[in-house]
Chains A and B, each alone.
Chain A
Amino acid sequence: MSLAETKSEKVAGWNRPPVVEPDGEGELLEVAMGPHHPSTHGVFRMDVALDGERVIRLKPVFGYLHRNHEKIAEGASYLASMPYTDRLDYFCSLTNNWAYALAVEKLSGQEVPERAEYIRVILAELTRIQNHASTIGFLLQEMGASGTPLMYAFREREKILDLFESLTGSRMMCNYMRFGGCRVDVSTAWLDATRKVVAGLPGFIDEFEALLTANEILMARCQGVGILKPDLAVNAGISGPMLRGSGVNYDIRKVDHYGIYDRFKFRVPLGDHGDIYDRYMVRVLEMRESIIILDQALRDIPAGPIMDPKAKIRGFRPKPGEAYGRIEAPKGELGFYLISDGGPNPYRYRVRPPSLINLTVLEDMCLGQNVADVVLIFGSVDIVLGEVDR
């Protein structure tokens, strides 16, 4: 398919910005950015048509990392898909576990004990903090601040990953949540260690903000670049910090009240302009709100069982039916849609990945911008290719 066929007018009903027309004479330069470009976070290609430095058209090409996750899950038992969900968005394996467990629990009607719900919230918010910190680090890396902000973010991430390792046994591929609870219980020592790490996080975010927020170079590169209009964001199904950066107040923790999120007091940060700077700011403020949730959860966590007593590991067969479980993952709405025919494996297993759907508006944000800004806009979307291609 040639680039001309991806012209935006062909997509009817979309509130798209007008296609940017080349102004000079001469031909457009077609450049394939990727799949091995260091800014593409993996193997991803952007076919861009350039008029000088301006982007006239952009076509995202993905699928290089496709590994048949949904079809494999349809042939495997429900439990056997749990470790594969770790590998979707490998930065946030615990929120992936939660979304899948939530869908299966909806399907089978299992109850989750109180303590397990608190553990899930604590782990999900820790995941959110480390994801947002490293996303900002990578964004700055792409801006040319080679190393420093990313290493500061990774230093904090390391502390959180150490907590994950001492609890779940693995730093990134946690495979921790089970249908009806969690795999192992948290110890008092682990909770104390978590409290200590959480107590140190506001200092880290202050330091991070002193380094970045008022930095003139960052403001010049980010403000007014890659604007995403709220109506386009809603129409395209964008979710997560990208949607809230455009000023749409939609947080599934507030909308769905899944788990026990209605017990915690926290605010949803919103952007004003929908540019890269707003998305950066929304992520920083979300980290601060996550710390507030963590403080409350670590204060209130009750004693008790961590598994539904009726839950069984082997021979799990939910009754026929369908369920959609979704959570507010760090990158946006992560949903799992399952159809059961009463057998040991799902009849249909579908992942609604936030990374892929947030990527669909890349062209709209990049048209008319410079090539150097495309890298930044792409970085501000916050994707993991493992989840885009599945």
Chain B
Amino acid sequence: MLGEGILKGMAETARNFFGSYVSKERLTTVEYPEERVPTAENARVFPFLVYDGAEWEAGMRCVACQICEKECPPKCILIDKSKDKKPDYAGKPQFYPTRFDIDISVCMSCQICVEVCPFEAIKMDTQFELATDDRFAGLLLDRKELAKSNEYYHTIHPTEATEVDSRLAEEKAKVEAKAKAAAEAAAAKAAAAPNPAPPADKPPAGGGD
């Protein structure tokens, strides 16, 4: 019969229309600013810099190695390396960025900077409501605007942040153990200095000073 297909299709739309009043399956939209769908845990928008502790400048994990600056596909990162050094989370003296700018009007949220960072210093944020009326300066974030605490990182990516923390704790323990061993070996070396024949475990001790 001519028109049967159209009637069948109309029945389908009618079912969807009336179904939208009773079934969440058929009404998938929400009224955005008032009502929000939760973001996925893995969601990524723009990068931010993680710092430990309360002081953003003292606790910043970034050591200005400039790997992310080099690997960034659209080249939206600009880093200036410091002249002096400050201690990092494990107490080792490291350089720090005197300037760390990300132009988020250029950034394409590919998270390659996160993948290449060997210091777990740069991570992806989930904040997406970034509208501003300043086209240039408003979208050029400096290191103060980029710095976010490790606690904040835990709230947005809990699983990932816990993994990162355990990895860093492991590394810190390793560094401390190495420093302790080096100190002990140095002490042993000082004590054993008059002896002419050094024991076999001397060479690593020499490297630890």
Residues in A with CB closer than 8 Å to B116 are 313-314
Task: Tell me if A1 counts as interface (CB < 8 A to partner B).
Answer: no
Task: Tell me if B124 counts as interface (CB < 8 A to partner A).
Answer: yes
Task: Tell me if B35 counts as interface (CB < 8 A to partner A).
Answer: no
Task: Tell me if B28 counts as interface (CB < 8 A to partner A).
Answer: yes
The answer to whether B9 and A211 have CB atoms under 8 Å apart is: yes
**Closest B residue, CB atoms, query A145:** B9
Task: Tell me if B130 counts as interface (CB < 8 A to partner A).
Answer: no
The answer to whether A165 and B3 have CB atoms under 8 Å apart is: no
Cα-based distance from A217 to B4 in the complex (angstroms) = 11
The answer to whether A83 and B42 have CB atoms under 8 Å apart is: no
The answer to whether B42 and A173 have CB atoms under 8 Å apart is: no
From 67 to 103 in chain A, residues with beta carbon under 8 angstroms from any chain B beta carbon are: 76-77, 79-84, 86-87
The answer to whether A210 and B8 have CB atoms under 8 Å apart is: yes
Task: Tell me if A152 counts as interface (CB < 8 A to partner B).
Answer: yes
Task: Tell me if B13 counts as interface (CB < 8 A to partner A).
Answer: yes
Partner of B110, one of A152, A167, A175, A218: A175
Task: Tell me if A237 counts as interface (CB < 8 A to partner B).
Answer: no
- Contact (A211, B43) CB under 8 Å given A158-B28, A173-B109, A314-B71: no
Interface string of B50-77 (1 = CB under 8 A from A): 0000000000000000010001110000
Taking residues whose C-beta sits less than 8 angstroms from the other chain, chain A's interface range is: 35 or more
In the complex, what's the smallest C-beta–C-beta distance from A188 to chain B, in angstroms? 13
The answer to whether B40 and A76 have CB atoms under 8 Å apart is: no
Task: Tell me if A148 counts as interface (CB < 8 A to partner B).
Answer: yes
Task: Tell me if A202 counts as interface (CB < 8 A to partner B).
Answer: no
Residues in A with CB closer than 8 Å to B8 are 210-211, 214-215
In the complex, what's the smallest C-beta–C-beta distance from B99 to chain A, in angstroms? 23
- Contact (A166, B42) CB under 8 Å given A83-B73, A173-B108: yes
Task: Tell me if A61 counts as interface (CB < 8 A to partner B).
Answer: no
Task: Tell me if A216 counts as interface (CB < 8 A to partner B).
Answer: yes
- Contact (A184, B28) CB under 8 Å given A214-B8, A216-B6, A217-B6: no
In the complex, what's the smallest C-beta–C-beta distance from A330 to chain B, in angstroms? 22
Task: Tell me if B169 counts as interface (CB < 8 A to partner A).
Answer: no
In the complex, what's the smallest C-beta–C-beta distance from A327 to chain B, in angstroms? 21
The answer to whether A76 and B73 have CB atoms under 8 Å apart is: yes
From 10 to 67 in chain A, residues with beta carbon under 8 angstroms from any chain B beta carbon are: none
Cα-based distance from A76 to B75 in the complex (angstroms) = 10
Residues in B with CB closer than 8 Å to A168 are 42
**Closest B residue, CB atoms, query A164:** B40
From 99 to 136 in chain B, residues with beta carbon under 8 angstroms from any chain A beta carbon are: 108-112, 115-116, 124
**Closest B residue, CB atoms, query A174:** B110
Task: Tell me if A6 counts as interface (CB < 8 A to partner B).
Answer: no
- Contact (A216, B5) CB under 8 Å given A80-B73, A169-B111: yes
Residues in B with CB closer than 8 Å to A148 are 13
**Closest A residue, CB atoms, query B157:** A169
Residues in B with CB closer than 8 Å to A83 are 73, 108, 110, 112
Cα-based distance from A219 to B6 in the complex (angstroms) = 11
The answer to whether A215 and B9 have CB atoms under 8 Å apart is: yes
Residues in A with CB closer than 8 Å to B13 are 148, 211
The answer to whether A79 and B71 have CB atoms under 8 Å apart is: yes
Cα-based distance from A357 to B3 in the complex (angstroms) = 38
Interface string of B1-37 (1 = CB under 8 A from A): 0111110110111001000000000001000000000
From 178 to 198 in chain B, residues with beta carbon under 8 angstroms from any chain A beta carbon are: none
The answer to whether B71 and A77 have CB atoms under 8 Å apart is: yes
Q: Which of A152, A155, A165, A170 has the most CB of B within 10 A?
A: A170
Cα-based distance from A168 to B110 in the complex (angstroms) = 10
- Contact (A169, B108) CB under 8 Å given A148-B13, A152-B16, A215-B9: no
The answer to whether B28 and A155 have CB atoms under 8 Å apart is: yes
Partner of A166, one of B2, B5, B40, B108: B40
Cα-based distance from A175 to B5 in the complex (angstroms) = 42
- Contact (A167, B5) CB under 8 Å given A83-B110, A83-B112, A173-B109: no
- Minimum-distance CB pairs A-B, first 4: A214-B5, A83-B110, A80-B73, A169-B44
Besides A165-B43, A168-B42, A210-B11, 6 other CB < 8 A contacts? A82-B110, A83-B112, A158-B28, A214-B4, A216-B5, A314-B71
